[in-house]
Structure 1
Amino acid sequence: MESRHVDWLTFLTQWSGEWADAHRHIEELSPDDIAARRGRWLGADPATEADIVAMEGRLGCAMPPSYREFLRVSDGWRHAGRLVWKLAGTREAHWHDDVMGLGEDFDEYWAEEDNPEEVRAQVGLWSRALQLDVESDMTFVLLDPQDVGPDGEWAVRVWASWRADGDPERYPSFAAFMIAMHQEFHRHAPGRDREDGPAFVNGTTLAQDAAVARARTAALRGRHEEAAALLAEARKYGRPYAHELLEQITQLEGSRGYGVLPPYPDNPRFLSEQLPLRAVDLLNSGRPEEDWHYSDPKVFPDTAGAAADIQRAVREGTHRYQPGGAFGEAVHEAREQARWGDTDAAWQILRAAIPSWEPLGPGHIAPMGLLADPLLAPVLTLERRLEILRTPRGGESGPVPAPAGDRNPDGLSWLARPGALRPWQTSVSDYRMVLVEGVAPDELPALLGSEPGTVLSPPLRQWDVTRHHRSGQRVFSTYEDKPLLSVGRAGPAWSFALEQDPSARFDTERFVSPAPTASVGGGRAIVIWHEWRHDTPLFHVSAAEGGTLRYAFTVSAGTLKATIGDVPAELASSALGFDAPDVTGQAEAAARALDAITRIHGVTVPRLALTEGRLHTFESLSWTRPPGPGETYTTSSIS
């Protein structure tokens, strides 16, 4: 219902009848409420024009249009929502006298200069407002004569002393306030949840439930904006599934504006989707694990054990979304691609399978469990989540949306661009990596592991890598340089192992390229070390084949420092422009070098997986030779 076009007689008659039906089995009612139930009318007699004119004369101003029209139908009202038991008519409305002394404290807070204009506009509310509440639960209903819209309507401010947020809630007009209170009545009416009496069914509930059904069908056909509008209205009336379905849309849209309802064990999505998503929220919030009351057997005796397992798996990054059917098979296949860094391929698999996805009951319109899967959640960029919403699924049909583009640029040169591995930074990122031909990513630890039997970690976020591998490290040596490498596929027949922001600096005298060791199986291996965060930009490449170093070169501050073997012409320092006089030119030269390596070998590394995803990791052998005779080094320990 639009507040600008309220048929007050129809609206108030409908509200009164619904209230009477909802309370027909309630025995503990006041005499006035019994009379209202019997007469099916919560209001009073209409106010005459003379009554309204007398009121305006008493108050010294004309009343806003919708309040005036309301009075012409009912000179007051009972049960305006849950908290206001009687609303003023022409005789009871009066200027608020601030008996609670709220004005001083509120005005001081509202008047602060850094507050937005709409907050500062409330200054003086307690001394100027027209009070409409006559009987209430510590709740003020105030018409603000200084907050006037272009239609002449005064805003209504509602304040309750027990509300945690403090500021009054604003409605643009008296009509908007009354519509909201009718909706509040619906959300809390006796019998609405079949607990206090017969089911609460009337024309309003039937119309809103039909709207929820239409919204669900629209959502499954890919029309999520249309569905969201219907659900937002039905949610105001507390209709079943409205909040739950709207929550799924807003989460995929990247918003949490409607809040998240607590999971319930009788929901078919409880274990597969709701609890994992709540566990992710808990993990990201930094709150203590004790807040996870879903694993308390006293509260959830049937599901506490499963909830504890879910929490642990989410915390460890091992949780897996496992839907059934053809979509479940696609999820498994996509995860295998994502865990080796090929997030674009993972998305292409998921995209093709979305039409085969099936909901788990009437409160389900999208595969929300993907957002809790540690490998697949990073794959779902905002554009891809919107594509899920726009794709027909669950047995419905409709137009297919234009596909969201790939996120991984081809090749390697993106690594030399500002913010490459740290999107929030404007500088070029430091990294070092090994590219190995003819070896799968899970075979790299056997070639380059720091110790015999080195194995890959579970897929880790970048900030968890050091904590996982060296949580108890207390001794550090300047001669020990064992990179923590994230691994994945680097194109057809190639794998990569890369470390972001190496803790060690490149040292020409001490550096030992791992390329020969990585290529002992007979294929080729390329090592790239790009250092930019220090005062002297450095770019190193070394290549080996069959265990033998073929060539290597190092450029420092635009100067070629060392060359070994026959460097391909495409990588000649002068041809690439490393002798540029400024750091910008040297960065462009590094990008050209990476483009050349891409052309020669057909290699690539995935940006999305390295910047936002999770990859398997391992500790490499040292890239620094042991100290020679007479050389000194430092070892430090933390006690």
Structure 2
Amino acid sequence: MDWRPWLTRWSEEWIGCTAPDELDPDVVRDGWLGFAPASPEAVAAAEERLGTGLPPSYREFLLTTDGWRDAGCFVSRMSDTSTLDWVRDLEPYWQDWEEPDDEEGDAEGGPISRGLLISLEADAGILFLDPGDVDESGEWAAYSLFSWLAEPPTRFPSFIALMESLYAEFHEMRRPEGATRDSWEAQVEEARRHALAGDIDAAEPVLAKAEDFGLSRATVLRAQILLLIGRTYEAEQLLGRLLHPSFTPDGFFADPLFAEEFLPLLFAEHARSSSPGHNSILQSALIGDPPELQLIIAEHQARLRRGAARATYGNPEFDDLVHAALERHATDPDALWRAVGEALPRWRPRSTDHIAPVALLTHPVLADTLTPERGRALLSQPRGDHR
């Protein structure tokens, strides 16, 4: 990691999306969330006091900036060489979060008990490094732990990976403009094209990473892939997220992708999973009475009550072939999916971010017989405007 350029960009983006009166005057003056570099002597003194050498990436970080402000949105200050110390000595109550299995066979306990505390001020949480979990490069595993998450500590393979996660968290929550966001938007568009060309293995990891940076378009695209390859629980979590007012992309509810593909699927999920004590995705989304979503749901319900036209699975050329396949092969799953696969070259997206025929899953026979292998085979075919 070449720390200085990356941390400079982080500083510029943070300052650019924060009101001046919320920033430390030194940050405004210097354009820098960090501090002066630690001297090699200060790092060596900290290592001697701690009784151990520091992992390479963290050591270089301190030699770039002796501490850091605003690491993500919940850590306002990171430790410097003078404040570094062990969790067990500075904030021993966090050891109560230790998992029993972590303590077995280790005289120093688990990751928290033996951890090096690297956060100084945080919102009911800590960041720490684990000297008992070292890779071949000498990097220590890194952890974040926040009590309000009510979850075990989150492990990262290194200090660099932890910082990258905190940077992504900042982007997800604050959505600063600039080169980073521009780059991710370009990568999401490239992933969309890969997906339409049949290369979902290239598209899906990029979209997952873009989601970490708060790009809701990546969530729209990735949900479609996950639905067809059988990762239904993950996909439904993404759909629920897209219905949240703080995350819903502009114009999403008016997009035919939502009205004609996702919404019928959500109604099917509601019929399947709603029960006393358990909300469907739609029921959860309606908490708080979001007016735009209420209206589009009411319109869909009205069409269902009127016995509106038959369900559609896409553009007319593809839709007719799917209906014909259902009429001929409803009791023969293999023949049915061969026919759907043969029809796929006729499929066209309903809108720009439509990359997969997820409406197929609204038909119970198609949904019951869609294996992850069949879904992957469909997505591996070039389709739509993949050129």
Partner-residue secondary structure (3-state), 1:323 = coil
1:21 paired residue among 16, 20, 24: 16
1:106 aligns with 2:92: no
2:164 equivalent among 179, 185, 197: 179
Alpha-carbon distance, 1:364 to partner = 1.9
Mapped partners of 2:332, 2:83: distance in 1:
70
1:301 is aligned to 2:301: no
Number of aligned residues: 367
Aligned CA distance change for structure 1 residues 155 and 257 (closer, same or farther; 3 Å): farther
Code of the residue aligned with 1:373 in structure 2: it is: H
Check if 1:375 corresponds to 2:365: yes
User: Residue 7 of structure 2 corresponds to which residue in structure 1?
Assistant: 12
Contact 2:229 2:371 in 1 (8 A): no
Residue 323 (structure 1) aligned with residue 314 (structure 2): yes
Write the deviation string for residues 104-152 of structure 1: whole angstroms up to 9, x where unpaired. 463436569xxxx9xx999533322111111111111011111111111
* Deviations 1:51-105, CA, capped at 9 Å, x for gaps: 1001111111110110001111111111111110111121121111374634246
Range with bigger deviation, 248-257 or 128-137: 248-257
Structure 1 portions without partners, runs of 5+: 1-5, 193-199, 398-639
Once residues 360 and 250 of structure 1 are traced to their aligned partners in structure 2, the CA distance between those partners, rounded to angstroms, is: 19
Answer whether contact 2:314 2:348 (CA < 8 A) is retained: no
Identity, in percent, stands at 35
Which residue does the alignment assign to 1:480?
none
**Equivalent residue runs for 1:559-638 within 5 Å:** none
1:634 counterpart residue number: none
Please state how far the C-alpha of 1:226 moved relative to its aligned partner: 0.8
> Residue 103 of structure 2 contacts residue 110 of structure 2 at CA under 8 Å; is this kept in 1?
no
Give me the whole-angstrom Cα distance separating, in 2, the residues matched to 1:325 and 1:280. Answer: 22
Aligned residues of 1:235 and 1:243 also touching (Cα < 8 A):
yes
Partner of 2:215: 239
Q: What letter matches 1:260 in structure 2?
A: L
1:45 maps onto 2:40 in alignment: no
Counterpart Cα distance in 2 of 1:72 and 1:15: 17
Question: Which one has more relative contact order, counting CA pairs under 8 Å at least 6 apart?
Answer: 2
- Does residue 347 in structure 1 map to residue 337 in structure 2? yes
Change (3 A) 1:122 1:377: farther
Distance 1:139 1:276, change over 3 A: same
Q: Does 1:157 align with 2:140?
A: no
Deviation at 1:187, TM superposition (A): 0.8
Q: What's the offset of the Cα at 1:290?
A: 5.7
Q: What SS class does the counterpart of residue 131 from structure 2 fall into? A: strand
Task: Please give the alpha-carbon distance, in whole angstroms, between the structure 2 residues aligned to 1:109 and 1:284.
Answer: 38
Task: Return the offset for 1:381.
Answer: 2.6
Q: Which of 257, 261, 267 is the aligned partner of 1:269?
A: 257
Shift of 1:371: 1.5
Gaps of 5+ in 2: 244-252
Q: Computing the radius of gyration over CA atoms, which structure comes out larger, 1 or 2?
A: 1
SS in 2 for 1:158: strand
Partner residue in 1 for 2:375: 385
- How does 1:460-475 map onto structure 2 within 5 Å? none
Aligned to 1:69: 60
User: Which amino acid in 2 is paired with 1:392?
Assistant: P
CA contact (8 A) 2:200 2:379 kept: yes
Counterpart residue type for residue 58 of structure 2: Y
Give distance in 2, aligned partners of 1:239 and 1:172.
Answer: 24
Distance in structure 1 (CA, Å) of the matches to 2:215 and 2:366: 32
Q: Which has the higher strand share?
A: 1
Amino acid at match of 1:19: W
- 1:171·1:177 contact (CA, 8 Å) conserved in 2? yes
TM-score by length of 1: 0.53
Change (3 A) 1:253 1:304: closer
CA contact (8 A) 1:187 1:237 kept: yes
- State the secondary structure of the residue aligned to 1:151: coil
The verdict on how the C-alpha distance between 1:121 and 1:287 changes in structure 2, with shifts beyond 3 A counting, is: farther
- Partner amino acid, structure 1, of 2:258: F
Matching residue's letter, 2:52 = C
For residues 308 and 297 of structure 1, what CA distance do their matches in structure 2 show? 20
Contact 1:75 1:90 in 2 (8 A): yes
2:119 to 126, 130, 133: 133
